[in-house]
Chains A and B, each alone.
Chain A
Amino acid sequence: MTKYIHRAAALSAFLFLALLVNAARIQVFQAGTYDDSPANRRGAIARWSQPRGDIVVGDRAVTGSRDTGEQLRHERTYGNGPLYAHITGFASQMYGSTLLEHTEDAVLAGTDPMMSLLPAWNDVTRSRTPGGRVVTTLVPAAQRAAYTGLRNRRGAVAALEPTTGRVLALVSTPSYDPGELSGNGSAAAMAWARLNGDPARPMLNRAIRQTYPPGSTFKVVTAAAALDSGAVRSLDAKTRSPAPYTLPGTRTSLSNEAKGCENASLRYAFEWSCNTVFAKLGADVGLNRMRSTARNFGFNDSGLRIPFGVAPSNFDTSMDRAQLALSSIGQYNTRATPLQMAMVTAAVANGGSVMAPHLVDRTTTSIGATLQERGPRTRRLAMTPATAAELRELMTDVVRKGTGANAAIPGATVGGKTGTAQHGVGNSGTPYAWFISWAHADDAMEPAVAVAVVVEDADADRGEISGGGDAAPIARAVMKAVLKKAAADGRR
Chain B
Amino acid sequence: MTKAGTTVAAAPSPAAVRLPRRRGVELALIVVAVLLCVYGYCAVGLARSGTVPPGAAHYGAGLGVLALLAHCAVRLRAPYADPLLLPIAVLLNGLGLVLIYRLDLETPHDQAAPAQLNWSTLGVALFIAAVVWLRDHRVLQRYAYVSVAGALGLLALPILFPAVNGARIWIRVAGFSLQPGEFAKVLLAVFFASYLAANRNALAYAGRRVWRFNRLQLPTGRVLGPIVAIWLLSVGVLVLERDLGTSLLFFGLFVILLYVATGRTGWIAVGLMLAVAGAVAVGRLEPHVHSRVEDWLHPFASIEAGRGPNQIAQSLFAFAAGGVLGTGLGLGHSILIGFAAKSDFILATAGEELGLAGLSAIFLLYALLVERGYRAGLALRDPFGRLLAIGLASIIALQVFVIAGGVTGLIPLTGMAMPFLAQGGSSVITNWIIVALLIRISDSARSQYDGTRAP
Contacts and interface: CB of A to CB of B under 8 A. Distances in A.
A24 B320 CA distance: 9
Interface string B288-326: 000000000000100100001100010011011111100
A28 interface: yes
A15 B400 CA distance: 9
Contacts of B359: 23, 27
B313 A39 contact: yes
B266 interface: no
B360 interface: yes
Interface stretch (A4-12, A207-215, A242-250, A296-304): A4-12
Interface stretch (B142-150, B241-249, B405-413): B405-413
Nearest to A9: B374
Contact of B400 (A4, A5, A19, A37): A19
A16 B397 CA distance: 8
B317 A126 contact: no
Contact of B390 (A3, A8, A28, A40): A8
B319 A23 contact: yes
A425 interface: no
Contact of B405 (A3, A18, A28): A18
B317 A37 contact: yes
B374 A8 contact: yes
Interface in A1-57: 1-5, 7-9, 11-13, 15-16, 18-20, 22-24, 26-28, 30-35, 37, 39-42, 45
B451 interface: no
B365 to A, nearest CB: 11
Contact of A26 (B263, B366, B408): B408
B351 A27 contact: yes
Most chain A beta-carbon contacts within 10 A, residue among B320, B355, B393: B320
Interface string B213-257: 000000000000000000000000000000000000000000010
A120 B373 CA distance: 45
Given A5-B386, A16-B366, A18-B405, A34 B317 contact: yes
B408 A22 contact: yes
Nearest to B307: A39
B360 A20 contact: yes
B261 interface: yes
A122 to B, nearest CB: 14
Contact of A39 (B309, B323, B367, B374): B309
A149 to B, nearest CB: 45
B48 interface: no
Contacts of A37: 300, 303, 309, 317
Given A4-B263, A9-B371, A34-B320, A15 B401 contact: yes
Interface in B362-382: 363, 366-367, 370-371, 374, 377-378
A12 B374 contact: yes
Interface stretch (B31-39, B110-118, B277-285, B328-336): B328-336
Contacts of B390: 5, 8
B62 to A, nearest CB: 30
B333 A42 contact: yes
Contact of B394 (A8, A18, A23, A35): A8
Nearest to A38: B303
Interface of B is mostly: helix
A39 B303 contact: yes
B259 interface: yes
A31 B323 contact: yes
A42 B323 CA distance: 14
Contacts of B410: 18-19, 22
B245 to A, nearest CB: 14
A54 B234 CA distance: 62
B378 A42 contact: no
B259 A8 contact: yes
A5 B377 contact: yes
Contacts of A26: 316, 319-320, 408-409
Nearest to A15: B401
Nearest to B47: A126
Contacts of B386: 1, 5
Contacts of B351: 23, 27
Contacts of A2: 378
Contacts of B397: 12, 15-16
Contact of B322 (A5, A8, A11, A27): A27
Contact of B355 (A7, A20, A27, A126): A27
Given A1-B261, A8-B256, A12-B374, A23 B409 contact: no
A12 B393 contact: yes
B319 to A, nearest CB: 5
B367 A23 contact: no
B356 A23 contact: yes
A42 B374 CA distance: 42
B316 A5 contact: no
B316 A34 contact: yes
Contact of B321 (A7, A23, A42): A42
A31 B333 CA distance: 15
A182 to B, nearest CB: 21
Contacts of A32: 320
A45 B321 CA distance: 12
A27 B324 contact: yes
B421 interface: no
B426 interface: no
Contacts of A23: 319, 351, 356, 359-360, 363, 408
Contact of A16 (B303, B356, B367): B367
Nearest to B335: A71
Contacts of A5: 260, 374, 377-378, 386, 390
A432 B367 CA distance: 79
A23 B366 CA distance: 15
Contacts of A19: 363, 400-401, 404-405, 408, 410
B333 A45 contact: yes
B409 A22 contact: yes
Contacts of A20: 360, 363
A317 B322 CA distance: 57
B383 interface: yes
B253 to A, nearest CB: 11
B374 A28 contact: no
A27 B323 contact: yes
A143 B378 CA distance: 86
Contact of A28 (B333, B356, B366): B356
Nearest to B313: A39
B338 to A, nearest CB: 11
B343 interface: no
B327 interface: yes
A284 B204 CA distance: 110
A203 B300 CA distance: 34
Contacts of B308: 39
A12 B360 contact: no
Nearest to B366: A16
Nearest to B306: A39
Contacts of A9: 370-371, 374
B321 A35 contact: yes
B370 A12 contact: yes
A431 B309 CA distance: 51
Contacts of A45: 333
B320 A30 contact: yes
Contacts of B355: 27
Given A22-B409, A34-B316, A37-B303, A1 B260 contact: yes
Contacts of A22: 405, 408-410
14 contacts: A5-B386, A5-B390, A8-B259, A11-B256, A19-B401, A19-B408, A22-B409, A23-B351, A24-B356, A27-B359, A33-B320, A39-B300, A41-B333, A42-B336
Given A12-B393, A23-B351, A23-B408, 5 more contacts: A19-B405, A26-B320, A27-B355, A28-B323, A126-B328
Interface of A: 1-5, 7-9, 11-13, 15-16, 18-20, 22-24, 26-28, 30-35, 37, 39-42, 45, 126
Closest 5 CB pairs of A and B: A34-B320, A12-B397, A31-B320, A15-B401, A39-B303
